Structure 1
Amino acid sequence: MTKTDHTEIQCPQCGHNEFEHPENLQDNDFVKCNSCYFEIMLADLKEVGFEQAKDVAIPEAQAEVEKIFKNLFKGFK
């Protein structure tokens, strides 16, 4: 089982995870980082978030698969 069950999208410029955004937010609206004031379209920020999540989830999944295989073949020495 993977360990991370929640990640927050981080600003691609500074890593902060809080953004200012308009009400009724749409994918083509811009959001602004509360720390460095970097502005990015929400759709692009979602893509950044997806890549950030993959960077966390894939290594965790690989480690878990390796652990499963290691335990699976433990008795075949």
Structure 2
Amino acid sequence: MIKTESIQIQCPQCGETEFEQPDNVQDDDFVKCNHCKFEMMLAELKEVGIEQAKEVIIPEAKKEIENMLKKAFKGFK
């Protein structure tokens, strides 16, 4: 079973996970890292978050599938 339930998006510059954003933020609004003040559009930050999530989830899913296959074929040679 995949154990990761949530992943926080990290600033691509410094790794911080908290951002300033306007009220009712939209994809074309800019958000700013609270630590290094790096700014990017929310839509871009979402894409960064997707890539960061893939880096965590894909290896975890691969390991789970390998374990399932080992159990399924246990005893076969």
Which TM-score applies when normalising by structure 1? Answer: 0.96
What aligned pairs does 1:1-77 form with structure 2 within 5 A after superposition? 1-77=1-77
| Distance across 2 between alignment mates of 1:60 and 1:74 | 21
Identity of aligned residues (%): 66
- Give the counterpart letter for 1:66 in structure 2: E
* DSSP-derived class of the 1:76 partner: coil
* DSSP-derived class of the 1:40 partner: strand
* DSSP-derived class of the 1:71 partner: helix
The alpha-carbon deviation at position 54 of structure 1 amounts to 0.6
| Distance across 2 between alignment mates of 1:54 and 1:29 | 24
| Distance across 2 between alignment mates of 1:25 and 1:67 | 42
- Give the counterpart letter for 1:39 in structure 2: E
Q: What runs of 5+ residues in structure 2 fail to find an aligned partner?
A: none
Q: What runs of 5+ residues in structure 1 fail to find an aligned partner?
A: none
Which TM-score applies when normalising by structure 2? Answer: 0.96
Moved over 4 A (4+): none
- Give the counterpart letter for 1:42 in structure 2: L
| Distance across 2 between alignment mates of 1:43 and 1:22 | 14
